[in-house]
């Protein structure tokens, strides 16, 4: 299934969510180019059972822990719930959500990764999942009970994340669980080092955030639900912090 399934009419977007997003759009385009043209095979291998280097093994373990942590913020039984897997990648989160009974819309900016996710989906879950590629913030995707955005907002600045959360919140009935790159010394050093490379040689660079200022930016951009940090996962070269917006 590649086309977006029909959803109930959505609530009007809040004013902040309707603003122009030149920064978000430019970053999104860089992320699409990287994952769809440069890193597809790497992510296909990383998200499989294939042997990987010791460094990538730490990333794999960290992502497994983060996925379990984020799923723990949602009900164990998701039957009758519509869930957006925003930035589904190769589909590991999608499978777990569907196993819990959810109706899942799995979207990623990379059509190549969506193809991998679709091929990997167990046949018994296919009626519960709709795959599509494109912008995870598109209002055309409709309304949801929950949103999961694992490591799909980590390349954006605080204002872009805040606008993204405001737009998603307007169409989400319960919880949005997302991750950010935490503002640690290691990640800040990597961030500054990345700026030294020529633009043509750079992969998308994670932008580190502290939870307090990020929550403040979200409030300023119209997010009304409770914004709170959940837990940080550190595993070698994988460092990510789960947060949530809960009504």
Q: Which of 70, 46, 69, 50 is nearest to 59 (CA)?
A: 46
Q: CB-based burial of residue 20 (10 Å sphere; 0-12 exposed, 13-18 middle, 19+ buried)? A: exposed
Place 33 in a pLDDT band, splitting at 50, 70 and 90: confident
| Topology, domain 16-246 | Rossmann fold (3.40.50)
Q: Is the pLDDT of residue 112 over 50?
A: yes
Token pair, residue 168, equals 């998603």
- Each residue's pLDDT tens digit, 166-222: 999 999 999 999 999 997 666 545 544 545 444 444 456 778 899 999 999 999 999
> What pTM value is reported for the model?
0.85
Using CA atoms, how far apart are residues 73 and 28, in angstroms rounded to an integer? 27
Per-domain residue ranges of the chain: 16-246
**Is the Cα torsion angle 157, 160, 164, 170 positive or negative in sign?**
positive
């Amino acid at each position: 299934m590649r086309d977006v399934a029909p959803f109930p009419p959505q609530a009007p977007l809040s004013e902040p969510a309707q603003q122009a997003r030149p920064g978000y759009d430019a970053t999104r385009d860089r992320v699409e180019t990287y994952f769809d043209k440069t890193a597809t095979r790497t992510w296909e291998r990383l998200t499989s059972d294939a042997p990987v280097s010791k460094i990538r093994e730490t990333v794999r373990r960290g992502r497994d822990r983060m996925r379990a942590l984020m799923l723990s913020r949602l009900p164990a039984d998701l039957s009758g719930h519509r869930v957006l897997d925003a930035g589904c990648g190769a589909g590991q989160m999608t499978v777990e959500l569907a196993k819990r009974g959810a109706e899942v819309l799995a979207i990623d900016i990379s059509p190549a990764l969506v193809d991998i996710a679709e091929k990997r989906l167990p046949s018994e879950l296919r009626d519960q999942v709709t795959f599509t590629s494109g912008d995870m913030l598109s209002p055309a995707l409709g309304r949801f009970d929950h949103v999961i955005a694992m490591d799909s907002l980590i390349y954006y600045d605080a204002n872009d994340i805040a606008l993204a959360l405001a737009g998603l919140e307007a169409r989400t009935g319960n919880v949005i669980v997302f991750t950010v790159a935490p503002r640690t010394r290691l990640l800040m050093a990597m961030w500054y080092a990345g700026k030294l490379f020529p633009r043509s040689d750079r992969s998308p660079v994670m932008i580190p955030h502290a939870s307090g200022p990020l929550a403040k930016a979200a409030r300023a951009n119209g997010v009304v639900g409770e914004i709170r940090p959940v837990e940080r996962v550190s595993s070698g070269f994988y460092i990510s912090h789960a947060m949530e917006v809960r009504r």
